[in-house]
Amino acid sequence: MQSEMTIKDFFHLIKKRIIVISVIAAMVMVITAFVTIFLFRPVYEASEHILIGNLQITNAENSYEETQKIPQTLASSVDFIKSSIVLNAVKQELGLQEVSLEEKMMIENNKDSQIITIHVKDQDAELAKKIAKTTAAISIQKMNVFLKLNEVKILEQNEDPIKENNVVSSMTISLIVGVFLGIGLAVILEQLDDSIKNERTVEELIGLSILGKFDGKAKIQKSGKGIPNYKEFYKERRKFSAKEKKNQADRATTIS
C-alpha cells in the first residue's frame, strides 16, 4: 500500500471498510446505552429562586442609588451563598457532614436580573430538593445578619426535581466516537495489508509502465452443483477408446 493516502484513497477505504466501521460504531453505542441505562443511576436537579431587593422602586430620589447598588449586592450574595458560613449550616441542618455540597450545587444569576437561582444535583430526588430549600432558607437568614439585607425572599414554587436525560447525549457522543474508532481500525487494517491491489501499485514497485493485463482465473466448465464436469470428459474418452478398438478389429479381419 502507498505510504501516503490521498483523499480519493481515503474515501475508497471508507467505502471498502464500511461494514467494519458500522459494526464498531454499533458496538460502542450498544455498550454506552447499556452502561448509561442499567449501571448509572439517574441524576435529579432541584432549584430554588431568591429575589434580592425590591423590583419596584417607588422613591424616585433613591432610584439611581439603588440601581447602582444592586449589581454589587447580587455579586456579594452569590459569593455569600457559596461560602462556608451557609454551606456548613446546611450540612448541620440536614446531617450531611460527609457530603461535599460544593460539587452538588451551582449558583446562577443572569445579567440584569435580581433573582438568584440555586441548582442542586443529586441521585436522590428528595435529597436534592431538601438541600435546595434548606440552602435558600439559611442563606436568607444569614444575609439578614451578616449583609444587613432585609429585602430578600424566596420565590415560592411547587416544582418537582427534574430528571436529567443523559441517554441521548451519551448515545450521540458514543456514535461519533464509534465512527472514529471504526475509521482508525479500517486504516490500520489497510496499512497491514501488503497485497497488491491495482496496476498503479505494481508500477510504483517495479518502476516500469504496465502495457497490459490478463485475467489469471481459469474458466472451467462446472456442473449444476459447482463441481467440474469430469464425468462427461471420461464418458467421451471411453466412447473414443471403444471406437478405436472396433476400427482396429475391423482392419485385422480385413487383412486376414
What is the chain's mean pLDDT, rounded?
79
102 lies in the same domain as 182:
no
Domain, as residue range, for 245: 222-256
Domain contains 170: yes
126 lies in the same domain as 65:
yes
157 lies in the same domain as 111:
yes
Residue 88: predicted pLDDT: 92
- Of 144, 163, 182, which residue constitutes the final position of a domain? 163
Domain contains 252: yes
174 lies in the same domain as 158:
no
157 lies in the same domain as 59:
yes
What is the C-alpha separation between 19 and 23, in angstroms, rounded?
6
Residue 89: predicted pLDDT: 93
Residue 167: predicted pLDDT: 77
Low-confidence winner among 10-14, 29-33, 57-61, 158-162 (lowest mean pLDDT): 57-61
Domain contains 209: no
Whether pLDDT at 210 is above 70? no
55 lies in the same domain as 17:
no
76 lies in the same domain as 111:
yes
Residue 136: predicted pLDDT: 93
Residue 62: predicted pLDDT: 56
Number of domains in the chain: 3
Domain contains 208: no
pLDDT grade, residue 203 (50/70/90)?
Answer: low
Q: Comparing C-alpha atoms, which of 100, 146, 139 is closest to residue 118?
A: 139
Domain contains 67: yes
